[in-house]
Amino acid sequence: MNTLIICLGSLLVLLIAYFVYGRWLSVKLFELSADAEVPSRALRDDQDFIPTPKSVIFGHHFTSIAGTGPIVGPAIAVFWGWLPALAWVVLGGILIGGVHDMAALIISMRNRGQTIGEIAGRMISPRARILFLTILALALWIVLAIFGLVIATIFSLYPESVLSVWIAMPIAIVIGIWAYRGGGARSMTIPSLVSLLILYAAVYIGVYYLPLNLADWLPAGSENTMWNATVVWTLLLLVYCFFASVLPVWLLLQPRDLVNSQQLFVALGLLILGLVVAGLTGAANLFEATEAVSTSVPADAPPILPFLFITIACGACSGFHCLVSSGTSSKQVACENDAQAVGYGAMLLESALAIIVIMACTAGVGMGALTKVSTANGADAGARSVSGVDYAYQVDADGNRIRGRDAWRNYYRAGEKGWSDQKLGRNLAAFIEGGANFLTSIGVPLKLGVGIVAVLVASFAATTLDTATRLQRYVLQELGGTLGLPTTNKYVATLLAVGVGGAIAIFAGDSPGAGGMMLWPLFGATNQLLAGLALMVATFYLWRRNKAIAFLALPMLLMMLLPCWAMTYDLVFNWIPQGKLLLIAFGFGILILQAWVLVEGLLIWKKSQGVLEPQLPPLGEKVAAASAS
């Protein structure tokens, strides 16, 4: 019962915050107006700029920001106990993350859909623009490398998820063509619901009849070569991302994200229902599974301050969201009043996802540790499946299911050197298998439950990956326009985006395809530094208009101090002593660029109060459209 009370209480706080604080931000601070001109209409090209119904753009925005960050981050952070993780997710989402996302969306909409980096050039200084865009490019290449690895890892560990994720692509194209055929947008509701049924049928087929394990099709021994399953999946995903970036947004991304969002909402609804039943029946017990504040933190874990606030980025506050808000969503929002739902509401929904993850990785895991049971050789023939793998609960010497803290320790090895032992697959498994335990409470077979949650994770990651590619294309185009580089061409920019991201993912690690994992320690700190810089631009926006700035300035200072502290700690105590040259180069480079942007802001702080930034040229001039796209 305690699991249910704590979870539902946290979700209720988020809901109240949306209607109270979110409404105040919309009406009082940013003064949203239904009559305001929006880029989707003023610059409509049906390629990147297109007015989109609120339900569709909400789905696109939410699935783009809610990748595996709010899954992997909380899954690691529960090392310190579920209470610190839960408090940061709830308070961070309400007071920092939601404000950050909403501010970036609104400011971009009022600047013709420009990215937050482009806007920094007029809000702070031209040098700040180049510096900010450079930081954005570095951050996005890290995202591309990491999320490609995440999806490849899920596909390798849970081949039952492959069919449903890939079948969503052609279905989305069919919906896009149907909805926008003839130049007039039709409702996507009915075809998307039909597609939802197809996708869940694909989940069932993937689990019981057609798991697609790429390793089975590759030559024997290839797992130790350049052509292992992770590398091949990464290449296939990046090829897909290239086309997703250059195709019109209505043809693939919008309908795919709408269908995916519906699929994800159903899965999240099932998880919440399963948690409710498990909580009411006592099957899930948060207090028995692990401690509120851990007294058995692994010996090699970093200090909770500042690393809790870096480990959980997505779910509480994420700088990547400012890129989605100002890079794609601002070009599609049809009415300025929709910014509260899209910007603030989607962030709080991501916080809700992080809460479910925390519950799954503690109370859910405590319901029983899972193990994979091979039945390919005929053992246990009555339970044999086509995939050759089933899931069973681990048992002790007496044959009793391992539950509570014993089950939790199987994943986290609390009190040992468990921090450095945490691999990406283990973190993902904690949520996937803990979530599947919740689903068994409502009668979903364990194996099918694992498949449903694995598809949820892979789908989240896929939407973030292709959106990040499109965002990187925008950033490289803007940098090309400023520096006179050929990346103003969208095909060249996209090829550079996926090429560099793929090279980092495949070649930068200790083994082929492990580059994303090597860069993982950079992700959280870089993400939060980016959030601090985006809040800095938003603070200048209010400062130049003589508006109250404390609601953005205080989160800005926090999001600059904590990640700088964490990255400096890693440089001094980990990366430099271990000779990790790539992490050292990225770390020092990002810190220097961030410090430079901060200096640029301090130089003009006093004289910018009440002075509007230089305005964009009239829309009739070609330069305006070029700078906005």
Out of 107-116, 213-222, 233-242, 484-493, pick the least confident. Answer: 213-222
For tokens 């450079």, name the residue.
Answer: 134
Report the number of distinct structural domains present in the chain.
Answer: 2
Report yes or no on 321 lying in a domain: yes
Instruction: Between 146 and 603, name the one with better pLDDT.
Output: 603
267 and 379, same domain (yes or no): no
Query: Do 234 and 256 sit in the same domain of this protein?
Result: yes
Residues 6+ apart with CB under 8 A from 188: 56, 175, 179, 255, 258
More confident residue, 319 or 467: 319
Asked if the model's pLDDT at residue 150 lies above 90, the reply is: no
C-alpha dihedral over 527, 531, 536, 542, to 10 degrees?
A: 160
Chain CA centroid to CA 549, Å: 27
Q: Is the pLDDT of residue 267 over 80?
A: yes
Name residue 122's amino acid.
R
Six-digit token string for 69: 């960050």
Please provide the average confidence, as pLDDT, over all residues in the chain. Answer: 87
Residue 265 has pLDDT above 50, yes or no: yes
pLDDT value at 623 more than 60: no
The better pLDDT of the pair 222, 214 is held by 214
User: At residue 375, does pLDDT exceed 80?
Assistant: no
Q: What's the confidence (pLDDT) of residue 625? A: 40
pLDDT band at 624 (very low <50, low <70, confident <90, very high): very low
Residue 543 covered by a domain: no
Q: Would 65 be classed as within a structural domain? A: yes
Distance CA(514)–CA(329), nearest Å, equals 31
* Banded model confidence at residue 154, pLDDT cuts 50, 70, 90: confident
Indicate if 9 and 141 belong to the same structural domain. yes
How far, rounded to the nearest angstrom, does the alpha carbon of residue 443 sit from its chain's CA centroid? 30
Question: 174 or 275: whose pLDDT is higher?
Answer: 275
Question: Quick one: 498 and 392 in the same domain?
Answer: no
Neighbours of 44 (CB within 10 A): 14
Do the beta carbons of residue 43 and residue 112 sit within 8 Å?
A: yes
Q: How confident is the model at residue 379 (pLDDT cuts 50, 70, 90)?
A: very low
Q: For tokens 């090895």, what's the residue? A: 413
Shared-domain flag, residues 359 and 390: no
Q: Where are the alpha helices (DSSP H) in 312-375?
A: 320-327, 339, 346-359, 365-366
Average pLDDT value for residue range 452-456: 91
Residue 418, pLDDT score: 62
**Domain contains 110:** yes
Quick check: 280 pLDDT over 90?
Answer: yes
- pLDDT > 70 in the chain, percent: 92
Please, where are the H alpha helices in 216-319? 229-246, 253-281, 286-289, 304-311
Q: For residue 592, is it within any domain?
A: no
Quick one: pLDDT band at residue 381, thresholds 50, 70, 90?
very low
- pLDDT value, residue 463: 83
Per-residue buried b or exposed e for 571-587, using 16+ beta carbons within 10 Å of the residue's own CB: beeebeeeebeebbebb
Residue whose entry in the numeric block shows the structure tokens 């926006």 = 541
Q: What is the pLDDT of residue 363?
A: 95
100-114, 174-188, 269-283, 565-579: lowest mean pLDDT where? 174-188
Q: Which of 75-89, 238-252, 613-627 has the lowest mean pLDDT?
A: 613-627
Q: Single out the residue of 211, 561, 217, 132 nearest to residue 388, CA to CA.
A: 211
Higher-scoring residue by pLDDT: 155, 105 = 105
Residue 316 falls within a domain, yes or no?
yes
pLDDT for res 505: 85
CA distance 547 to 28: 10
Asked if residue 252 has pLDDT above 50, the reply is yes
Does residue 432 sit in the same domain as residue 416? yes
Between the ranges 115-119, 190-194, 443-447, 477-481, where is the mean pLDDT highest?
443-447
- What global pTM score does this model have? 0.90
Handedness of CA 546, 551, 552, 553 (dihedral sign): positive
3 state DSSP class of 393: strand
* Residues 250 and 390 occupy one common structural domain: no
> Which residues, 6+ apart, have CB-to-CB distance to 202 below 8 Å?
163, 164, 167
Residues 426, 388, single domain; the answer is no
Residue 389, phi then psi, degrees to nearest 5:
-135, 135
Contacts of 491 (CB under 8 A, 6+ apart): 246
Give the whole-angstrom CA distance, residue 410 versus residue 397. 15
Q: What is the rounded CA–CA span in Å between residue 90 and residue 78?
A: 15
Q: What are the pLDDT digits (tens) for 415-437?
A: 566 676 666 777 788 899 999 99
Mean pLDDT of 309-329: 92
Tell me the mean pLDDT in the region 246-260.
83
The average pLDDT across 619-627 equals: 49
DSSP assignment letter at 108: H
Window from 48-57, 84-93, 217-226, 352-361 with minimum mean pLDDT? 217-226
Q: Does the pLDDT value for residue 384 go beyond 50?
A: no
Q: Is residue 605 part of a domain?
A: no
Q: Indicate the range of 29-38, 282-291, 463-472 predicted with least confidence.
A: 463-472
pLDDT in the model for residue 221:
67
- 191 and 65 both lie in a single domain: yes
pLDDT at 276 over 80: yes
Same domain for 200 and 288? yes
Helix axes 424-440, 446-483, angle to 10 degrees: 130
- Binned at pLDDT 50, 70 and 90, residue 521 comes out as confident
* Residue 112, Ramachandran bin (φ over 0: left; ψ between -120 and 50: alpha; else beta): left
For the residues 469-491, what does the mean pLDDT come to? 88
Give me the mean pLDDT over the 179-191 stretch. Answer: 68
- Under the banding of pLDDT at 50, 70 and 90, the label for residue 182 is low
pLDDT at 21 over 90: yes
Give the structural domain span for 433. Answer: 2-364+405-482+491-507
Mark whether 389 and 330 lie in a shared domain: no
d(CA 390, CA 208): 10
Are 304 and 379 in the same domain? no
